[in-house]
Structure 1
Amino acid sequence: MPELPEVETTKNSLLPLINQKVIDIQVRESRLRWPIPEDIHKLKGQKLIKLSRRSKYILAEFETHSMLWHLGMSGSFRICDGHEELRKHDHLIIQFEDIQLRYHDPRRFGCIIWLNAESQVKLIDTLGPEPLSDLFDANYLADKLKNKSVAAKVAIMDNHIVVGVGNIYATESLFNLGIHPAQAASSLSTDQVQKLVVEIKRILKQAIDLGGSTLKDYSNAMGENGYFQQTLLAYGRAGEMCVNCETTLENLKLGQRASVFCPQCQPLKQVTAAPKKLRGKSK
């Protein structure tokens, strides 16, 4: 699934569409995660004014309407001149003045919907802060984790706590800090929380600079692959040797996600429960 760096890279690759007017729209398959709106043709004649990102959503602002785009599990946008042969899973074609935009999604779990009051409340307003923003700092994260008994990795992948820290980038951040992915979030020390915030920001910035991660078929709208996967130290390397200590990397499932870790460099610290108070009068 495209994660925050891939969505940011995709958004940036779509910037040539800014100030381009929509000339025509063709819906070849409307059945995505939610149906493509039947009235999407309202965009005809409108210029695309602004593109931004919130979590893994791309927000496309036209002159009088706005759309919310999500790549889902396998979605991608492609910019072309319109003469390329259509592919089987090209579900939406938007013809701009000089450029054609195609949305491709084999698994059809992405979405192309209106950004309105309903979708804003349902999909945007409940999200946590952006990880690269000033709102995401050590004080904020410490407060959010202090009562969380779930695994640290599960917590930092919770979009209500912070958005966009997907499996790849959570795995790499925890590995680099020597934190076991199953460590109880509430047991992280102040120092660990401070370092975790810094490391998440560093990893995500590096991934964006490298165009995201192309593990299967991800590419941005210009057809360019990402290169962050070439720097991976833990993700996808279960059964291989740790680059630090040569211990065999192991894998466990947390929140239905594979979580690769080094049992030597990332030991699981046992949290000792506080002794229960004795009930009744002492004899």
Structure 2
Amino acid sequence: MPELPEVETVRRTLSNLILGKEIRDIDIFYNKIIRNKTEQEFKDILIGKTIDEIDRYGKYLIFNLGDTSLISHLRMEGKYFIKNADEPKGKHEHIIIYFTDGNTLRYNDTRKFGTMDIVERDKVYVDSPVTKLGQEPFSDKMTLKYLKEKLSKKSIAIKSALLDQTIMTGLGNIYVDEVLFLSKLNPETPSNKVTNKDIKNIIDNSIKVLNKAIKLGGTTIRSYTSSLGVTGRFQNELNVHTKAGEPCPVCNTPILKIKVNGRGTYYCDKCQKK
């Protein structure tokens, strides 16, 4: 699943390619991706508009078009590609947006889990799917007080809490494992038992890991690639995730893999003691 660094890579890639392009037409082949509008409403609202900015919050892409915003979540397998209008439709291309310059933006999703919502631009952070999310690690609002208040109400494992996008948005399975390793926290530690020092480490290491992953274009594991097939390189920097049986980079103890609330979890039981 694309996490914050992968979505930011998509945002940056698309921003270099489609800003200023005017929408001429739209083909919709799987309308369940569109959640809050009918097919015709979706087309009527977007056709004739120009993409003037692409933003991101957590794992959501936000295409801004004048007074309208298209909010897109890639879920498990969603990808965007730029192709010429005369290229044939790909098997998993569910929405094709045609621009007046002869190019297209194509939404490709083998699992069909992705979503799109259209909202008024000034309502994106007031009344949209984005408003249900917690703060990003980069936000000035992501303070020790904020995260402590959120975690103190939870007895679930810290791994599960950090995957909860209503607590802190942007981290997925890969990056939570890496953040907990750098923070020397066992993934099964109850959230309401973490100390102030632990919380500060979580925030600091989340920023550190995400910034490095963004710089390297994200993590390419299984199916993730950014637009135009650009592959990330952060998988070469992973300390524990996917490293079961390999020596810990700090103490050489073999990395373990367990399940935490059904999610595959990698950690060092010597560096990350309960």
1:174 to 156, 180, 185: 180
Q: Is residue 28 of structure 1 aligned with residue 34 of structure 2?
A: no
Partner of 1:66: 69
Max radius of gyration: which structure? 1
Partner of 1:87: 90
Secondary structure of 2:165's counterpart equals coil
Q: Is residue 189 of structure 1 aligned with residue 192 of structure 2?
A: no
* Counterparts of residues 64-213 of structure 1 (less than 5 Å): 64-98=67-101, 99-115=103-119, 121=127, 123-213=129-219
The answer (yes or no) to whether the contact 2:124–2:131 under 8 Å persists in 1 is no
Q: Is residue 239 of structure 1 aligned with residue 245 of structure 2?
A: yes
The answer (yes or no) to whether the contact 1:239–1:250 under 8 Å persists in 2 is yes
Cα distance between partner residues in 2 of 1:36 and 1:242: 49
Cα distance between partner residues in 2 of 1:71 and 1:140: 28
The answer (yes or no) to whether the contact 1:46–1:64 under 8 Å persists in 2 is no
> Partner amino acid for 1:102?
R
Cα distance between partner residues in 2 of 1:261 and 1:33: 38
Cα distance between partner residues in 2 of 1:135 and 1:119: 14
Q: Cα RMSD over matched residues? A: 2.1
TM-superposed deviation, 1:28: 2.3
TM-superposed deviation, 1:122: 5.8
For these two proteins, the number of residue pairs brought into alignment is 268
Partner of 1:248: 254
TM-superposed deviation, 1:223: 2.1
> Partner amino acid for 2:47?
K
The answer (yes or no) to whether the contact 1:33–1:108 under 8 Å persists in 2 is no
Q: Is residue 50 of structure 1 aligned with residue 56 of structure 2?
A: no
Given the two structures, how large is their TM-score scaled by the length of structure 2? 0.90
The answer (yes or no) to whether the contact 1:36–1:111 under 8 Å persists in 2 is no
The answer (yes or no) to whether the contact 1:36–1:112 under 8 Å persists in 2 is no
Secondary structure of 2:202's counterpart equals helix
TM-aligned CA distance change 1:238 to 1:127, over 3 Å? same
Richer in helix (by share): 2
Cα distance between partner residues in 2 of 1:78 and 1:95: 12
Cα distance between partner residues in 2 of 1:242 and 1:206: 20
Of 35-44 and 186-195, deviating more is 35-44
* Counterparts of residues 260-275 of structure 1 (less than 5 Å): 260-268=266-274
TM-aligned CA distance change 1:219 to 1:23, over 3 Å? same
Q: Deviations over 1:68-115 (max 9, x none)?
A: 111111110011233444321011111113331010001000012312
Secondary structure of 2:82's counterpart equals strand
Gaps of 5+ in 1: 269-283
Secondary structure of 1:66's counterpart equals strand
> Partner amino acid for 1:111?
T
